[in-house]
A and B are shown apart, each in its own frame.
Chain A
């Protein structure tokens, strides 16, 4: 397995190189020029050139790309063109609040959706199944913004059940602020996940081994919890593990509306400002996380399914 992991890690190098090249070409070719942002409105041509020189933007593109690759290796992306803040500090500051929101929401969503998926599969075709599926479709149909506006106005402002917005770095105060956005995140994700897990479970329910288990006289609950759930693990794991890297990248809309100083807005702000160092750092981070997520999924397959082996 170690060799497999090593081989997969080495295989990320050309992928990261490809991602880096794509980002570099895209933002140098069609993106805006960050220099004009940096010099301000009162700039002269001379100042524009001075700033380009200061930030190495006047160097040949090959040299600039080489510097970018060096940054990837050293994990040192320098400072943001826009805010002048150290990028590593921006990311480090944002990860905590983002994870405070996304990790509990993700855990609750996963736990609830797997449980509900099993439940509705168990009652397939009956009223419970229909009601839950109907609610899932309704839940998926409404945009997250709708939930946010509703939640902030009715649940937070009118009913006073939650703070309207804000964040506190202290423990456990920060949880007070993430309850409502977490609830919204769960509601929004639940519809898709429940339907997905329901399908995964139903696929297993129609397998021969379930009929055999029933024929042997096993109770339905034992069949579901011991056999069906375990055999549904491959699609469930795929869905769950692939979402984990995204947790670190935050939830832009929720963070923005609820004033959570997470990482979600960093990339969006950077794109708006042609903040190349931040764009480079965030896209590389995202690519790395996704690659690691895929690797973790493969490894976990072997843990839940002995038929799977890593070669």
Chain B
């Protein structure tokens, strides 16, 4: 730029060297001084949190990734929420006054909406000059129809798909006509009056309450949708405890306490050990305790970790590469961090990781013994240690600890690492020593860790004489490969949407085959029959027995190679109080307290 200021004649420059030098020095000085004048942002009673991915937006209908869901839950709320402290997880009323009344046939749910709940002040409320109006039952009717509207293209439609009488027909009509008619009555979704919402289910469902507790079903005022249109992604107009100050999904989301938030109290009871852990010190006190939240996006783990160590973040996950720096061999906190008062939180995660066999594949899909043999060739303990720093327990079935149907004592025979037995099974499969078996194909992502894990898997199979070819893809290519039933074997993980084993078992229900969540394309009539039966049953020993029977069928058919249920390790600064890991309560920051 500076050098382009010479004249074409080659004579006197447009800018003299003196000018250039002075300009340069000013620039240097300007930058240096700006560094001196810049002040560290003063965070007073503001929670400073990190998120490892960009926040896509704040529209509940599109909040399908966990990190967007967490931000959405700061401003928006639903009828129900999870009790923050109780375990196993339990739902409780939030915008509903109480839990719904359910008809005897289990098909009609009636919710009373809490009175006096206000939407946050926002320019979208034109008739009240920006003052947030009161929430009513119609807001849920509108929000859920919006979820069903094909034009919304919501990834959360599945929570209501096929569940409410008339809603699918309404969606089909909207799809045909090209424009949804929000005034049209839907039998299964009605506001009986301003404070009464009635749902009519197609069939009894034990999961419907879990479904509507998800962020997709949060109340969005129609005024906000009409005012902001698609730009609602960058705004938040809910009833929740925090109000949006600044949204930049690539960098930072800043929230302040919502001044019109109703009185909500910190829980007065919790799980065993919570009182001793100091989690009930603030029982019965109004929440939220903090005045604001700053969520910073850290796409790389090192800066997040260093910011936590520098006390610029109040909580942090432990990056894989820094694990040994934080955790001792006995899986406790290292002395250096203990001395700083940092607290380690360990909790099981409701998830399962597994290798998937494409049951539609003519080689692996038709040979149970082959799948069982491959499953037994894997040393899970080594994999958990090597790739997950020991943060996991070996999975025996798809059902993780913490939900009904999990059996701690049960040992899946095909999850045991036994090469001799695996070789025997391979003989039964018709491929002794791998002879006659074509090279198997493994689909994975193109990142380093995925590649390393694939190599470890290939090494395990190789011991049996089975060759594995690893194909690396970008995420969309990988998705296409498996959703179009082209892959043969691939790795996958599933984190629960809600605390019910059904959420894991539906991954193997034949009607959910690709492009649905059953990407193994597993089909077993007996499993389907039990699954369908279980859907109509509420939590009960009878249902748990069905879950266990289904798990047994999966164990024997082996459409998945079970790997692990992960354990989460999190760290908090000594001044962050009331912190308890939770799989589903995305709004949990409202319970946190800073004690500096």
Contact = CB atoms under 8 A, between A and B. Distances in A.
B303 A32 contact: no
Most chain B CB within a 10 A radius of its CB, from A36, A94, A104, A303: A36
Given A41-B517, A50-B150, A36 B2 contact: no
Nearest to A39: B155
Interface stretch (A120-128, A134-142, A232-240, A285-293): A232-240
Most chain B CB within a 10 A radius of its CB, from A97, A107, A172: A172
A241 to B, nearest CB: 7
B61 to A, nearest CB: 10
Interface in A238-280: 240-241, 244, 256-261, 265, 269, 271-274
Contacts, number: 193
Contacts of B479: 32-33, 36-37
B307 interface: yes
Nearest to A182: B31
A118 to B, nearest CB: 12
A172 B29 CA distance: 12
Contact of B477 (A31, A41, A182, A256): A31
Contact of B151 (A38, A47, A54, A111): A54
Nearest to A40: B155
Interface stretch (B33-41, B202-210, B326-334, B578-586): B33-41
Given A39-B155, A230-B10, A306-B8, A273 B475 contact: yes
A38 to B, nearest CB: 7
Interface stretch (B248-256, B263-271, B337-345): B248-256
A300 B230 contact: no
B383 interface: no
Q: What interface size band does chain B fall in?
A: 35 or more
Nearest to B506: A42
Nearest to B20: A111
Most chain A CB within a 10 A radius of its CB, from B28, B231, B474: B474
Interface stretch (B100-108, B294-302, B372-380, B406-414): B294-302
Q: What interface size band does chain A fall in?
A: 35 or more
A173 interface: yes
A175 B299 contact: no
A54 B150 contact: yes
Contacts of A42: 155, 158, 161, 516-517
Interface string B1-45: 111101111100000010000001001101101110111010000
Contacts of B24: 107, 111
CB-CB nearest 4 A-B residue pairs: A32-B476, A40-B155, A42-B158, A261-B251
Given A84-B59, A261-B251, 6 more contacts: A39-B155, A48-B515, A84-B230, A164-B310, A173-B38, A241-B4
Interface of A: 30-34, 36-45, 47-48, 50-51, 54, 79, 82-86, 93-94, 97, 104, 107-108, 110-111, 114, 149, 152-153, 156-157, 164-168, 172-173, 175-176, 179, 182, 225, 230, 233, 236-237, 240-241, 244, 256-261, 265, 269, 271-274, 300, 302-306
